[in-house]
Amino acid sequence: MKKGVYSILKARFLVNEDATKNWRFIVFLILLAIGMIANTHRFERKVFRITELTNEVKELRSEFVDRRSELMKLKMESTVSEKMKERNIFPSSVPPKKIKVKKVEEKSLFKKLWQ
């Protein structure tokens, strides 16, 4: 037991006759670790980008709501009439009348013959 631990600490398994198998496995583990580190780095970069875009969407949405409320205020009749007073255009005192146009129905050939 003592010799086994001592040989591992001295790394004798790396200089033996069959050390090429051990070196291949160690190189494989190193490449696997590098691949995992690169994959984790790329994943974290994507997570940060998603968080950044989410915050941007929230900001744009709040800006949209603000602009829409401003537009609703500008479209109000009182606001429009105040702006038109500057140009000496006043609201009408007579309410508007709705004009209805009746569509003239064209008579078919059969109805024209019977008249």
pLDDT for the residue 110: 73
What is the greatest pairwise CA distance in the chain? 126
Q: What angle do CA 86, 90, 95 make, to 5 degrees?
A: 155
| DSSP SS3 for 1 | coil
Q: What is the pLDDT of residue 59?
A: 97
Which tens digit of pLDDT belongs to each residue from 7-62?
766 677 677 777 777 788 889 999 999 999 999 999 999 999 999 999 999 999 99
pLDDT higher than 70, residue 1: no
CA distances to 75, 77, 100 from 91, in Å: 15, 10, 23
Percent of the chain scored above 70 by pLDDT? 90
Element (H, E) at 22: helix 19-75
| DSSP 8-state assignment for residue 92 | -
Span 97-105, average pLDDT: 86
Half-sphere exposure of 108 toward its Cβ, with a 13 Å CA cutoff? 2
The mean predicted confidence, pLDDT, of the chain is 86
Task: Return the SS3 of 83.
Answer: helix
